[in-house]
Structure 1
Amino acid sequence: MGQASSTSEDSASHSPVAKLSREQIVDLFYARCLSLLKPIEIAFIKTKWDIHGNQGETIDSAEIFKWYLSEEQADKATSNLFRTNMSTLLMVMKRIGKFPFLNSPVHADDKLTVREFIISMVFFDGRFKKIFKGDYDFVKLFCIALAAPAPVSGTDDATASAMADDDNDRYAAKLLQPFEADDSKELKSRKVNWTAMDLVRSFDGISVQDLAVNARKLQELLILLLVVKSVPNQKHEVMREKFWANLSKWKEFDAYSLYLLRYLDIQLDAKSLSEQKIKYLQFSDGMASIVPRFLEQNIQRFFEAEIHGASSAARGDDSHHHLTHSSEPMGKVPKFQESKLVNSAFLALASAILEGAKSPIVVSSQNMVKLYAGSESGFSIRSLETKIFKWQAPTMVLVSGKRLKQKAQETNRRYEKFDHSFPRYFLNSENALRPWQHENDRITYCVVINQPWRNSNKNNFGDEKSIILAIQPRADYFKSVSNKAQKGESIYFNTQGMGVGFGNEQPINKGNTQKYHPGRVSLTIEANLEFAVFRHLSSSVNNDPNFFKTSSNSQIANEDYEDRFVITDLEVWGIGSMKELEEQQRQWKWEEQQAQARQSVNIRNMGEERAFLEMVGLVGNRGSGGSV
């Protein structure tokens, strides 16, 4: 293992210290990572790529693809976008595989050494937490790997030479226990206090605060991880097939990855991502919880599912799948079918936002049931009511449309009526659009509601688990305000001509007076389901009600803005199990039977009742009407 190490006593901490060469540290850290793999996993890796365990052996990128796909699928995966995204992941793996010497050059080839693969996998699937006692900033490591200098030409022979030249340099490594002469390499690797090593704590001396990640490269990984997120927990082979099926929907995931990316920089332009940079500080800034959490969880999920699924397959235990969490449905639900607004990419993003917001409500294709779609059932408040009111579990409301342009606001008479009753915040003379808002924006908001729906013409309903999500053109969330007096009762469903509101006080509809009372953070849908307004005010104006917190994004949390849009699609989905669905279906069936019964009444046999109806002109006389 190179030169023999020397051990001394650290007078400050009374911990033994070993002076190790670069080569010794590399070997010991690799040995420590290997010790975290199960024998069956190591055997599978060796068999998969016909390798013998030499850390310098290489694995071709085409073979890496087959780690995530079947051989047949990998051969078919000729999409340039898929190849590009996998190549980005491969480069990140190469860089993390140099740990703890993160400043080591990375070479521009499409191969991974076995050592690079094993070390990167240990970080990606979360096993690194067993090495470092305490919190280790994986997101910072990820940013370093993604923002590192461009790969250099050459081979790893050059790196080996550099390491040999550096062999006289020694690094102080605190030990948990002193090295013994007959210690194996693995035992020595366990005795090193990796957490306390300066080389590890300083990320090899890299100034992380100065790092900037290429926005397009980050998006390439977000696309891949959204696909990972979209795959429900099932048997390993079923998950692989679903992953493969969703790879064919790259364009959908591309769009949603941009909405997620804009959580880090709200002004990112889709047309110039390759030239734009995202600084590390934007990852670590205050409430920027969605993207870092999403990255760590889904990179881990990707590798964890693959290595455990692969080792299960090697055992012949195809029923095993490692990942189990609360996205499991409460019971069987009908096969998920996509709609205009809800598809696999949407669910992946919505789920990521909810997790970032630490919402207790979980959504996936396994527990979502479509209750209402305006494009199918008609855009009417009555139709909406009949479809959603018997669902006794949480629901998700999605409203989507096109931003109302200033000219349309001035000339659309139907909008004028709504505008007259909805108090303006911006004056007509003001430019109401912020720098990140554009006239041609498509806008989608989503509200997750924990309580069943009910008519609420006098009092609001709801609880503090309600949350508003911004989906398009940028991801965001707005959590309920905790208030003992309000109790989260922030929702109304008004059947007297005032529509649906989230975060508003009860509207007024008396005589000729119609007036909305929008909250500081609120979503208002007018009664004809034609127009909607999302309002976001950072400070109180005229004692506006306050049911939802301002944006979780520090870039706009203190901004005042509105999204006014024409509704093109409105959907409500149930979040629950077969029990709720069966109850809803019984209600629909009963209503259909009642409608058919009314239509099938044989008026000709009504006798005196028919005579009366003819007299008042409701039947007979060829429909020409009549009078009393």
Structure 2
Amino acid sequence: MGQESSAPVEAPSHEQLAKELALKFAERCFTPLEIFSFKDVFKSLSDHEQHVHYLKEETIARFLEIPDILGVSPVLFHLVSHVGAFPFLQDAPAVLGAEQMVVVITIMTKRYERVLARGAADRRKLLFRSMAVYDRKQSGLSEDQWRPAAKAPSGSSADQMEENSDEDDSGDGLVLEAFDYLDYAKFFKQQDSPSLHGALVPADNLRKLIMLLLLTAPLDAQESLSVYSDRMSGTALTSLRSTAECVLAAFSDVERTPGIKFSRFNSVIPSSMPFLFDGFTPLFEHFLFSKYLDFHKHIDETKNVPPIVEVAQPLLQDKASIMNLDVLSQLSFFIPGTSLFRRLRLLYSGDDDGFSMGSFETKVFNWRAPTILLVRGTRLLANISHRITASESAFLSALPPKRFRNGTDDENETLTFGLYIGQPWKHTNRECFGGEDTLLFQLEPIHDVFRASTLNKDYVTYTKPSASTSHAGISFGCPPPQNTQTYRRSSTIALGTVSLVLDGSFEFGCFTHDYTSRGGAFQPSAVRNFDFQERFEIESLEVWGCGGDEEAKHQAERWAWEAREAEARRRINLGTGDIEADRALLEMAGLIGQNRSGGSMM
């Protein structure tokens, strides 16, 4: 008996495999209604040539209502047309037909996670490749500007480390897993993905994309970007651009470096803005909602009744000096938006309530949900000509003499810092308070986040002035103040390695980043790997409560109880000399008796 020789199995073409992946994504990552809607939307938008239906740049921009003034449409189309080539990245840019758009929507909305196990790191690398340029002409940069990206001897060990990091093309796990998912991994293990060496994301492109992501951060899947058209002109547009510059500063010094390398991109995003690209999800889910399936509209038309227009609750209900819609979106890059948008309430504002610890305590301590503290100020000048006031001199003398350089170069910059704390505020006795979800951060002039350490838990201290405390005020990342005798009080504040200190009068603040020492309650920066310190005069101080109606109700009840207690004490006229009569009055007021001591209601 002869044996038949098995014929070798031929690898499918790129086109066949890309189509098969799109079909599997459609089946596993979308509902039938979503696919029906997508087909209807694509049919209504697509152009066609020689029986090929596809979407053009201006069509996508018009459908998603991308504001022209941002100039981001070419950047977004470049990104999308490269993602559309997945998993054959070397074939980019892709013609955006129906199959390619299914792949785009699956990846941009993170629905791929339903079938592929690879996570954020692999998607981040894919997005970088899709935004990057690989030659000078494509980047629009001059030869001198492009030179840093060329392969050349590095000037320092740090430069060499960054070059080596950028040359590391391992970790294209999302591509390999897609081939595995299709059972064709044996044919495509050695795909020639574009090298990361020499790849840059032009700073101006990333700036435009950040502005778009600041706009889309609060977006709902069926909400139009035109809802935020008022942010596209005048001072609102200036504020949006300013916020985008602060975020961009975390990636690159645009005055010195024309683009962002992968090593920088890959270190900054997970540490300082892990939710940066979340705004892509509702934006690209627009393709899954067909106007044809607006059932409410058709029902209203049959009844000859005008459609019901729902008035959306504002993203930010209260107004203050620091917090605005752009800062709110910036916060959502590292704090989940579900805790922020339409959830914040202004608890304390120094402008309105007074810059005092007593006022701060009255307004903030009764909130039983997470809070966000924001403080903005002007950097204290170090030059000789600067006239120092008595209060400034007293604050500076309380700081340790060791002084680092400024965190950024501009001497006259405005500085904005903040803290997210998940626990209620309280007085500091022997131990600090706060949990491992506490975040210390800077928003202006550079975006930076300092996450809580799990070893050192000196997160937050709140110390009111008294004869037994060394220094009053609020501090983050500093050891708790020691209760000592007056004559033995320390003359200097004990600063943590990564810490923020606000003095007891809320006049001055000091942020310290002792990168060399490390070991503090907050982790050092992934953006700035050097020692720096910012000393500033406080201009605005705000605390915002994260929560809903239940938290506000609890706080209001607590305030009302405290007001009644204070009024009861004010009305009682003691000191008659009749102890029994005085006791009877206190019992009538409900301040003593029935296991009450006259203290708090806890």
Query: TM-score, normalising length from structure 1?
Result: 0.68
| Structure 2 counterpart of 1:297 | 278
2-structure distance, mates of 1:291, 1:334: 23
The answer on 1:223 being equivalent to 2:243 is no
Which residue is equivalent to 1:493? Answer: 463
Question: In structure 1, what is the equivalent of residue 418 of structure 2?
Answer: 446
Whether the 8 Å CA contact 1:534–1:562 is kept in 2: the answer is yes
Aligned partners of 2:524 and 2:409: how far apart in 1?
17
1:405 aligns with 2:381: yes
Distance in 1 between residues matched to 2:117 and 2:354, nearest whole Å: 58
CA deviation digits over 1:572-627, x for unaligned, max 9?
111222232123334555677899999999xxxxxxxxxxxxxxxxxxxxxxxxxx
Between the aligned partners of 1:295 and 1:434, the Cα distance in structure 2 is 27
Identity %: 23
- The one-letter code sitting in structure 2 at the alignment partner of 1:527 is G
Work out which of the residue numbers 227, 233, 239 in structure 2 matches 1:252: 239
Report the counterpart of residue 56 of structure 1 in structure 2.
52
Distance 1:29 1:511, change over 3 A: closer
Q: From the superposition, tell whether residues 8 and 277 of structure 1 become closer, same or farther in structure 2 (CA, over 3 Å).
A: farther
In 2: Cα distance, 1:527 partner to 1:49 partner: 61
Q: Aligned residues, how many?
A: 500
Conserved? CA contact 1:521–1:536, under 8 Å: yes
Deviation at 1:375, TM superposition (A): 1.1
Which of 510, 517, 522 aligns to 1:548? It is: 522
Q: Could you say what secondary structure the match of 2:450 adopts?
A: strand
Does residue 1:85 correspond to 2:75, yes or no?
no
Instruction: Give the secondary-structure state (helix, strand or coil) at the position aligned to 1:342.
Output: coil
Output the CA distance in 2 between the equivalents of 1:417 and 1:291.
34
Task: Spell out, residue by residue over 1:301-323, the C-alpha distance to the aligned partner (whole angstroms, 9 max, x if none).
Answer: 4323x234x158726279xxxxx
Distance 1:382 1:54, change over 3 A: farther
Q: Within 5 A, what are the aligned runs for 1:457-476? A: 459-476=431-448
Matched AA of 1:478? F
- 1:273-297: CA deviation from partner (whole Å, max 9, x where unpaired): xx71111122234x75147843543
Deviation, structure 1 residue 89: 0.5
* Structure 2: distance between partners of 1:30 and 1:141: 17
How far apart are 1:434 and its partner, in Å?
A: 4.9
Cα distance in 2 for residues equivalent to 1:461 and 1:261: 33
Q: Please, which moves more after superposition, 564-573 or 496-505?
A: 496-505
Which residue identity lines up with residue 125 of structure 1 in the other structure? T
How far the C-alpha of 1:401 sits from its partner, in A, is 0.8
Per-residue CA distance 1:379-402 (angstroms, 9 max, x = gap): 122221221122222211111111
Asked whether 1:420 is paired with 2:410, we answer: no
Match for residue 389 of structure 1 among 365, 369, 393: 365
Q: Deviations over 1:208-260 (max 9, x none)?
A: 243111011012112111221133x5x734x6564555555443332222322
Secondary structure of 1:425's match? Answer: coil
Paired position in structure 2 for 1:172:
none
Match of 2:539 in 1: 568
Summarize the alignment of residues 154-193 of structure 1 with structure 2, pairs less than 5 Å apart.
192-193=182-183
CA distance in structure 1 between the partners assigned to 2:54 and 2:350 by the alignment: 55
Question: CA 1:354–1:103 in structure 2 vs 1: closer, same or farther (change >3 Å)?
Answer: same
- CA offsets 1:300-358 (integer angstroms, 9 cap, x no match): 34323x234x158726279xxxxxxxxxxxxx999622322112221222222236xxx
Deviation of 1:144 (Å): 1.9
Q: Which amino acid letter does the alignment assign opposite residue 147 of structure 1?
A: A
Secondary structure of the equivalent of 1:584? Answer: helix
Pair 1:141 & 2:117 matched: no
Worse-superposed segment, 26-35 or 87-96: 26-35
Alignment partner of 1:341 is 2:322 = yes
Structure 1 residue ranges without an equivalent (≥5): 1-6, 11-16, 153-188, 319-331, 356-360, 427-431, 602-628
Query: Distance in 1 between the 2:461 and 2:104 partners?
Result: 47
Normalising by structure 2, what TM-score? 0.71
Tell me how far 1:463 sits from its aligned partner. 3.0
Which residues of 2 match residues 22-101 of structure 1 at below 5 A?
22-25=14-17, 27-29=19-21, 31=23, 38=32, 39-49=35-45, 56-69=52-65, 77=67, 79-81=68-70, 84-101=71-88
Q: Which residue of the other structure, out of 263, 279, 282, is the alignment partner of 2:264? A: 282
2:346 is aligned to 370
| Contact 1:457/1:495 (8 A) holds in 2 | no
Please tell me whether the aligned partners of residues 226 and 348 of structure 1 are also in contact (alpha carbons under 8 angstroms): yes
* 1:372–1:387 contact (8 Å) kept in structure 2: yes
CA offset digits 1:537-565 (Å, max 9, x no partner): 13449xxx8322222x0641xx2221111
State the 1:470 CA deviation. 1.6
Please say if residues 208 and 280 of structure 1, whose CA atoms lie closer than 8 Å, have aligned partners that are also in contact.
yes
Unpaired runs of 5+ in structure 2? 140-178, 298-312, 573-602
Q: CA deviation at 1:371?
A: 0.5
Q: Report the AA paired with residue 263 of structure 2.
A: L
CA RMSD, 1 decimal: 4.2
Q: Which residue of 2 aligns with 1:584?
A: 555
CA pair 535-596 structure 1, distance change in 2 beyond 3 A: same
Q: 1:131 to 1:591 in 2, by over 3 A?
A: closer
What amino acid maps onto 2:278 in structure 1? Q
